[in-house]
Amino acid sequence: MPLTPTERDRLLLFTAAELARARHARGLRLNVPEATALIADTVCEAARDGLRLADALERGRCVLGPDDVLPGVVDIVTEIQVEAVFEDGTRLAAISDPFGERERDDLAPGAVLPAADTVDAPEPALTVAVRNTASVPVSVTSHFHFFEANPRLDFDRAAAYGMRLCVPAGSSVRFDPHGGAEVGLVPIGGERIAIGFAGLADGPLDGPGAKEEALRRAAACGYLGVAVDGGDGTDGDPR
């Protein structure tokens, strides 16, 4: 059965969570990977059940308490992030206080104190007009490769290749059914490797022929906003 990288990652998370559930059922206290997998899987399944983001996060926080994990785990795992598929699209779920709210000594040895926010938000490198042709809302998270966003979103895919939303990390932009909006994009940073997402670009974004192959895959899969070759060496109408 062929699976996309995203589907393989989801199965890996589920397998790790099942192992954690079995050990937890035997009365064992969980370590960092086990606790992280169990909570993240719970949120993903809550999204699959049709719960909204806030309710899915709350379900994740109720799975384990401080007494269910090994000493030190609560101090190490202060937030868990996982991309879950909700009814309105894929969204980044950030589970803060994953073991329930507790009192913390911010001056304890090794405590991390947040600095004042003095970094200006980046200016968009590109602004694109987006129209949601679907009958359901679509949300796109901050660091999703925007080129590979929902196929029913109609925008200039070629221009958005290698870009992400110019919004704070962990946030998202919602496109209402049959609605339109303009969004700012910035280039994906780091080593610019896109793995997973929708499987249109699966590797280095700037590799030889990578953009052309991604556009070909998008056209073959019926993504809107992709120019179709007219067969005579010129571009036909965009889909």
At 15 the pLDDT is: 96
Residue 22 main-chain phi, psi, to 5 deg: -65, -45
Cα–Cα distance measured from residue 96 to residue 121, given in angstroms and rounded to the nearest whole number: 23
Residue type present at position 194: A
pLDDT in tens, 145-174: 999 999 999 999 999 999 999 998 878 898
**Cα–Cα distance for residue pair 76/72, rounded to 1 Å:** 6
Token digits of residue 237: 């109408």
Lowest mean pLDDT among 44-48, 185-189, 198-202, 213-217: 198-202
The average confidence (pLDDT) of the chain is 86
The DSSP 8-state label assigned to residue 125 in this structure reads S
Count the residues in the chain: 239
The token pair at 176 is 């209402």
The pLDDT of 213-227, averaged and rounded, is 93
With tokens 């080129």, the residue in question is: 147
Rounded Cα–Cα distance for residues 223 and 191 (Å): 26
Confidence of residue 185 (pLDDT cuts 50, 70, 90): very high
Please answer whether residues 70 and 29 qualify as being in contact, where contact means their C-beta atoms are separated by less than 8 angstroms: yes
Residues 59-76 pLDDT 10s: 999 999 999 999 999 989
Taking the alpha carbons at both ends of the chain, their separation in whole angstroms is 30
pLDDT for the residue 90: 84
In this model, does residue 235 exceed pLDDT 50? no
